[in-house]
Amino acid sequence: MMGRHWRTLSGALRRLASTPLATLVTVSVIGIALSLPAGLYLLLANLGQASNGLEVQPQISLFLKPDAGKDAQRQIEKQLRSHAAIKTFRFVGRDQALKELSAGNGLGDLAAGLPNNPLPDAYIITARENDVAQMDKLRLEVSQWQGVETAELDSAWAKRLNAMLDLGLQLTFILAALLAFGLIAGMGNIIRLQILTRQDEIEVSKLIGATDRFIRLPFLYHGALQGLLGGLAAWAIIAVSAQLLNLNVSRLATLYGSAFQLEGLALGDAAALLGSSAFLGWIGAYLAVSHFLRHFRISHH
């Protein structure tokens, strides 16, 4: 039984090799189609990696009430010092904050025109854990202390980036799903043409007692092989593109003082790519042959 599978596999390979141009075109089309979502996925994965590497310490800004008074402030400072989840904190007095604001943002004139300083005293806190949920818990806790007006988590930009990456990933999956449908349909059509050129063989096989399973097998191998080759092509396209992009990426990264490099597909991801492309080819072939066999009548006389 294994022997038949090997012979069928080598037969399918011979068939692909016997029409090299057609095979090349098909494989390229599949490869290009697959490299779009796979490349996008890779890009997002790399971005995610890069943003993790950016050593961003999310901070909590603790704003005091204007009328908090020295006692409340001392109490808060004591609590901050003894809190297990807090790594460091520093005090930014309202005068200093106003100075920084007018110096940093070119708002000096505006600041000078204000009748009195509208800024509150504040503490900038960094936590031991960078986990967003943990930080939010901490923020909630400190915001309820005596004399605290409000506490804000400065991880909004990280959240935004993450949300954008998630959105990108979602778009990638939608794109991948659409292309998967397209690939199945396209592969079905290729196999349908294969079937038409081998109709005599199918008819004779049926006449002498071949089961549908027997008839289907070589086409399934054909579809799966073509899918697999397409997956390999996609892999190659992605690897070459990453290399080309890296020339510019590393220059850009150097400007940011980073050694960031685009990574190619990890082995597990590549295996998933090849596996799913072979699987899509297999499904397309299966649907095409089954459809054909359902409508096939032996034309004998």
Partner 1 sequence: MISLSQVSKRYPGGFEALKDISFSIEKGEMVFVSGHSGAGKSTLLNLIAAIEPPSSGSIIINGQNLAQLRPAAVPFLRRNFGLIFQDHKLLYDRNVFDNVMLPLEITGFERSEAAKRTRAALDKVGLLEREKTMPIALSGGEQQRLCIARAIVHRPSILLADEPTGNLDSAYAGEILEMFKSFNQVGVTVLIVTHDERLIERFGARTLHLQHGILA
Residues lying near partner 1 in the complex (CB under 8 A): 1, 3-4, 200-201, 203-212, 214, 298, 300-301
210: number of Cβ within 10 Å:
15
Rank residues 2 and 112 by Cβ distance to partner 1 and give the closer one.
2
Smallest gap, in angstroms, from Cβ of residue 217 to partner 1?
11
Closest-CA residue to 16 (of 213, 231, 221): 221
Measured from the CB atom, is 110 or 207 closer to partner 1? 207
- Sign of dihedral through CA atoms 171, 174, 179, 182? negative
Shortest Cβ 4–partner 1 spacing (Å): 7
Do residues 285 and 220 touch, judged by C-beta distance below 8 A?
yes
| Nearest approach, Cβ of residue 160 and partner 1 (Å) | 59
Which C-beta is closer to partner 1: that of 23 or that of 73?
Answer: 23
Nearest to 77 by CA among 63, 67, 65, 91: 91
Q: How far is the CB of 2 from partner 1 (least distance, A)?
A: 11
Q: Which is closer to partner 1, CB of 170 or CB of 211?
A: 211
For residue 62, give the nearest of 117, 128, 126, 111 by alpha carbon.
126
Instruction: Give the nearer residue to partner 1 in terms of CB position, either 81 or 300.
Output: 300
Please give the structure tokens belonging to residue 163: 């949300």
- To the nearest whole angstrom, how small is the minimum distance from the Cβ of residue 7 to partner 1? 8
Residue 221, CA distances (Å) to 56, 69, 114, 195 in order: 50, 80, 78, 13
Give the Cβ contact number of residue 77 at 10 Å: 13
